[in-house]
Amino acid sequence: MPSSIPPLPGLTRYTWWGAVPEGLLTKTQLDRQGLKPGSDPVGQVLYHGNCYAPLYEESAAVPKRGCSPAQRAALDRARELQYVCRRCGDRRDYPLGSGRWCEPCSYAAGLYAAHAKAQRFAREIVGDPGAALVVVAAGPGEYAQPETVAVIRVHDQELLHEGPAGAYGTAERGALLDRLDVLLDGRRVVHETDRGPVSRYPSMLVTPPGQLVSSERDGLHPWLSPHRESAEKADYVSRLWRNWFAWTRDEWSSMASEPWDQERGVWVAWECTAQAADDARVLVALLHRIAEGTEPVWERAQWIEDGHGEPELPRRRRRRTTTTA
């Protein structure tokens, strides 16, 4: 074996086997299937740290001489399958690629994956004995002032705090902030909402009247931001519910939005009252129902509406272990 095989110019380089798209194979891999390249290489993969092996389209490969009729038939079947959606069975006149889903099914699958993720996420929150939901109830409008505040432990739905918000700049508001600092210290903090029709952010408690509420993190009161593992994964009940409910404006959406209709405008599954404690109980019960799978899903969610059932989600991609070219 030569000590290194340099990359071919002008071809996409994949630096590990797991990055190689489905349907691209090396000569050796084709050979194992009784095939040989039927076209020029379309990419190359790094192996042994310093060698590049050209990659060929599996669908363009041709049988080697001596390929048995059975091998040939299997090859034809495999090629044919690349055009058939594995969920709804529709045939397309182009190969469907690695997921083998037609477009409508890939949208349904994306929505369903987010829905399933919302449940896992809700289970994580419900299963955390310390996690606490903070609800700040306020009047309507952009410059609404907070009226009441509640903190509820998600796990056992025990109300840890409820009371008036006090006015900005008063001793009452200051005492409330101190109390919440102590109560929420070290807990996984869950918020009601990140956006949408209910702009009831805990940051309202530190925002002077007449100013827009900033969602920026406050160093003094870290609980003014929810627990957050990543940009997509922050502890907002509204976001979890949105993904769980899976409302979309049309069938070409791969992401759930806040439901909207002519009568109600944008809406959520819960009432927003002036009583934070009541709302907190409702929201925590909602989290539990999502965790249990008993919370309703939009009756026209794509995977329900299209009649093809829950999409089978791909398992985590296996890393290819072949190391020879």
Residues lying near Zn ion in the complex (CB under 5 A): 85, 87-88, 90, 102, 105
Q: Among residues 104 and 202, whose Cβ is nearest to Zn ion?
A: 104
Closer Cβ to Zn ion, 226 or 311, answer by number: 311
Instruction: Let me know: does 279 contact 191? Beta carbons within 8 Å.
Output: no
Answer yes or no: are the C-beta atoms of 108 and 302 closer than 8 Å.
Answer: yes
Nearest one of 41, 11, 12 to 26, comparing CA atoms: 41
Provide the minimum distance between the beta carbon of 308 and Zn ion in the complex, in angstroms, as a whole number. Answer: 7
Shortest separation between residue 303's beta carbon and Zn ion, angstroms: 11
| Whole-angstrom distance, CA of residue 83 vs CA of residue 90 | 8
Compute the distance between CA of residue 52 and CA of residue 14 in angstroms, rounded to an integer.
9
Tell me how many degrees the CA angle 212-118-200 measures, rounded to the nearest 5: 20
Q: Which is nearer to Zn ion, 130 or 309 (CB)?
A: 309
Closest approach, Cβ 85 to Zn ion, in A, equals 3
Closer residue to Zn ion in complex, CB, 155/308: 308
Closest CB to Zn ion among residues 91, 120? 91
Contacts of 225 (CB under 8 A, 6+ apart): 189, 191, 215, 217, 218
Tokens (6 digits) for 224: 């003014």
Beta carbon of residue 119, minimum distance to Zn ion (angstroms, whole number): 24
Least distance to Zn ion from the beta carbon of 73, Å?
Answer: 25
Write down the least CB distance from residue 101 to Zn ion, Å.
Answer: 6
How crowded is the C-beta side of 295, counted as CA atoms within 13 Å? 27
End-to-end CA distance of the chain: 11
CB of 311 to Zn ion, least distance (A): 9
Minimum CB separation from Zn ion for residue 213, in Å?
43
Decide whether 158 or 310 has the Cβ nearer to Zn ion: 310
Label residue 236 left, alpha or beta by phi (over 0 means left) and psi (-120 to 50 means alpha).
beta
Residues comprising the chain, all counted: 325
Give 87 or 288: the residue with its C-beta nearer to Zn ion: 87
**Of 108 and 126, which CB lies nearer to Zn ion in the complex structure?**
108
Using the structure block, give the residue that is written with the tokens 């994956």: 113
Evaluate whether 308 touches 301 at the Cβ level (below 8 Å). Answer: no
* Rg of the Cα atoms in the chain: 27
